[in-house]
Every structure is written in structure tokens, then in C-alpha cells.
Amino acid sequence: MPVMRFERFESPAANQAVHLGDIVRAFSYALDLTEGQPAGHCVRSCWIGCNIGKALGLTPVELSDLYYALLLKDLGCSSNAARICELYDADDRAFKRGFKTVGTSLAATLVFVARNTAPRQPLHRRPAAIGNILRNGVAIVDEMILSRCTRGSDIAHTLGFSRAVQRGIYHLDEHWDGSGRPQHLQGERIPLIARIALLAQVADVFHTHAGRDASIAEITRRAHTWFDPKLVETFLSIAKDANLWEQLESPFLDTRISAFLPADQIRVVDDDYLDAIATAFGQVIDAKSPYTANHSTRVGGLAMRVADAMNVPESRRRGLYRAALLHDVGKLGVSNAILDKPGPLNDREWEEMRSHANHTFEILDRIGPLHEMAAIAAGHHERLDGRGYPFGLSDESIRRETRIITVCDFYDALSSARPYREALDPVEALVIMGEAVGSAIDPDCFEALRSLHQ
Ligand SMILES: [Fe+2]
Ligand SMILES: [Fe+2]
């Protein structure tokens, strides 16, 4: 078993208090990717929703719950991506984004579905796909929304958020007139946090898509049907303040929304909690595609076993574990039409697939305590010969932690089924990896991985 010194590891960052609100806000950018929304959608929704909450005179505890529910409202969304892609035979992210800008009438919905179902298929094949939706669409959408709501609120529960936050996420898609999902709740039976969150979400989507007037018009139009009319009144009164809209464009909005967390509601998180939130987001990533179910979790576990075999110092283990869990967080920004494609990717698709490493860097780089691990996690497709991505690093500039994640990722990919091939057994996987030693993967890390199978 190789014994390695890790003199190239940097010392851990100085201990600084890490606030839960800041961590959740930074992770919300990953959820925007899943929904195909422009970066900052959750943060902007949080700004609009918390302004409504403040105007309503919510208590500090209620305002804090609203803040977290708005930032985490899409926590379960990755679970329906593959299903949307399959049902509509379309790019799930583009479909989700476009669908949110459609009016509420049945005619508008049907026109959108007809135009956006199987858009890449020849004309003669599209009626079959649309017919399937007309026959089975309602039941399938019911199931998808239930799965999204349940998954999102379950993760919020696991992370210790209050029941009010969990219910806000679970009931996000309920409508004031009872036409929503998952439980067709009506009027004030819908939790107030969910009512505010849906309104804030729609306000941001239309503002980003078509501007302030369009946003106000859409919220007004949906009063009594989707939205609580009293909340619409509150929204219309705060919408007169130009600052509400100007701040949506501000590069300092992240800081502005922090002010909504009352001082007595600020929570400092410890290392165990950071591990838990990295684990939870690893599960969000893994839910995106049936072909990568549990991939992040397995790579995290395997990285720790390889770290043991290589005597990685204890002080580096936690960072490595989190980086391994989150190495593919950028895949939330890749369409399932590509992730689950049962054949070779064309140039454009391959480019989008490779972009996941850049997205991983951008997301983790925002997260204070994970900032140092951003490049380490994002580099898992780098190669020793410099032909990897996203940075095209060469041998000496690839960190050892990255090399560990790379071998674990490679091994898990080979030993899992893919849309275009069966899973390989461990011996076959190690033989294939052996051919890449020295050119793509690090020999010492490979030996450590191999030692686990002897
Ligand atoms: Fe990857
Ligand atoms: Fe991976």
C-alpha cells in the first residue's frame, strides 16, 4: 500500500463563524441551475417574498422561516428532471423555464405543450408524444409534483429546518382556488409561507423574463385563482417602491437579503452541519438522473477509503469528503436529454456536458467554507497529460485531492450502468483504468484504489 506525504496540501482556512443563512443562500444558486432559471432566481424570490413578509408584519421567527423556504423552495426539483425529459421528449431545463412564463389558461398551457413537446423530432412523430401527454399527462404531473414536494420537504427536515419551512416547500404549488398541487388545498388552508413563496417566485420569473410591468400584470391577473388576494394587495403596494425592483438588479442583493434574518435568528453552523448539507446536496445531484443515482454519495465514501489508504492527514479529510460529494454539483445545469442520452454526444451536447465542471467551480466558489475546495472538486476531469477540462491543467498543477476524486469518479462511472452500456465488474473497471495511469490518472491514487480490492 503506498504511503504518501501530503506536503502540497495547504493548511485549513482560519476558523471563521459560518452562518446558515449565507450557506443556504450560496447553495440556492445550484437550485437555480436545476430549474433552468437565470442565476440568482431564488435570491431574488427571497428578496420579493421577504419584503412582502415584512410588510405583513411577520414575527422574527416567521420571517426567518420564510427566508429559508424561499431559498430552498426548489430543493426537490432535480427529482423530476429525468421524468420531464422523458415525458415531453425535451430539454428539461428549457421546458421548466419556458413553462413558468406561460399564462394560467388551459389554452395557453396546451399551446405551450404542443410547441415544446418533442421539438427535435420529425413532425410526423410529434402527435404521438403529444397524444401520450393528453391521455396520461395529468396523472404523471401529479406524481412528479408530489415527488418534488415530498423530496424537498424531506431534505429540509433532514437538515433540521422547522416544520414551517418544510410545509412552505411542500405546499409551494398550491393555488388559492384549490387548483394547485399536491393536495389541492384552498384559501387560508395553504400555509402562509407557501402562498408568499409562490407569488414571489412568479413575480421574479416574469420580471426577469419581461420586466416590471409584466410582473405586476401577471400577479394581478392571478389574484383569487393562484394567489391570495390580500397578498396581491400587499405586493402591489410594495411594488410602488422603485427600490424593490432596483435591488433585483443589484450585485449586492445577496447581502441585502441577509438583513431579513433577524439577529436572534442567525445560526452558526459547525463542521458536522457542513458535512450534512454537502451530503444533502449530493443527494440532490444524484436525484437528477437515474444513471447517476447515489454516484456522489459513493464517490464521497470511496474518496475517504482511498484517503485512508494514502494516509491523508485528518485535517484534510473533511474538505476532501465535501469536494467528492459535490464534484458533480454542476450537472444540475446540464439537461437530462444529454445526461441520459442512450448514444454518443454531438459537439454541442459534449460542450454542455463539459460545462458541468465550470458550474461546479462557480457554485462552490460562492460558498465561504467550501471556497477552497471549488477548484479541487471542479478539476475531477483534468488529466495528467493536460488534455482534460475545465482548466486544461497539467500534471504538476493538479492537486492531490483532485487526483483522488478523479480515480474514485472514474471507478464509480465504470462500475455503474450508463445509458449506452452495462455496469462493469470491479476487475474489468480496474483493467480499463490501468490503461489510463500516467496519462489521465495518478499512479499512486490508482494503486491506493486497487489496494482496496485486494
Ligand atoms: Fe463529472
Ligand atoms: Fe462524477
CA dihedral 207, 209, 211, 214 (to 10 degrees): -80
Cα–Cα distance, 55 to 42 (Å, whole number): 20
The CA-CA-CA angle for residues 68, 72, 78, to 5°, reads 170
Q: For residue 262, what pLDDT is reported?
A: 82
Q: For residue range 70-97, what is the model confidence (pLDDT) as tens digits?
A: 999 999 988 777 777 677 677 778 777 7
Cα–Cα distance, 426 to 430 (Å, whole number): 6
Among the bound ligands, name the one nearest to the CA of residue 356: 1
Q: For residue 199, what pLDDT is reported?
A: 98
Rounded to the nearest whole angstrom, what is the distance from the C-alpha of residue 232 to the centroid of ligand 1?
43
| Least confident stretch, 263-267, 330-334, 396-400, 442-446 | 263-267
pLDDT over 50 at 3, yes or no: no
Residues with CB under 5 A from ligand 2 (ion): 328, 409
pLDDT over 50 at 357, yes or no: yes
Cα–Cα distance, 26 to 89 (Å, whole number): 31
Q: Helix, strand, coil % (nearest 5) of the chain?
A: 65, 0, 30
Rounded to the nearest whole angstrom, what is the distance from the C-alpha of residue 380 to the centroid of ligand 1?
6
Cα–Cα distance, 408 to 298 (Å, whole number): 9
DSSP string, 259-311: TTS-GGG--EE-HHHHHHHHHHHHHHHHTT-GGGTTHHHHHHHHHHHHHHHTT
Q: For residue range 360-377, what is the model confidence (pLDDT) as tens digits?
A: 999 999 998 899 999 999
User: Active-site residue numbers?
Assistant: 331
Among the bound ligands, name the one nearest to the CA of residue 334: 1
Question: pTM of the full predicted structure?
Answer: 0.89
Rounded to the nearest whole angstrom, what is the distance from the C-alpha of residue 282 to the centroid of ligand 2?
11
Q: What domains are there in the chain, each with its CATH number?
A: 18-79+147-268 (1.10.3210.10), 270-451 (1.10.3210.10)
Rounded to the nearest whole angstrom, what is the distance from the C-alpha of residue 78 to the centroid of ligand 1?
17
Rounded to the nearest whole angstrom, what is the distance from the C-alpha of residue 353 to the centroid of ligand 1?
9
Q: For residue 13, what pLDDT is reported?
A: 45
pLDDT over 90 at 122, yes or no: no
Among the bound ligands, name the one nearest to the CA of residue 357: 1
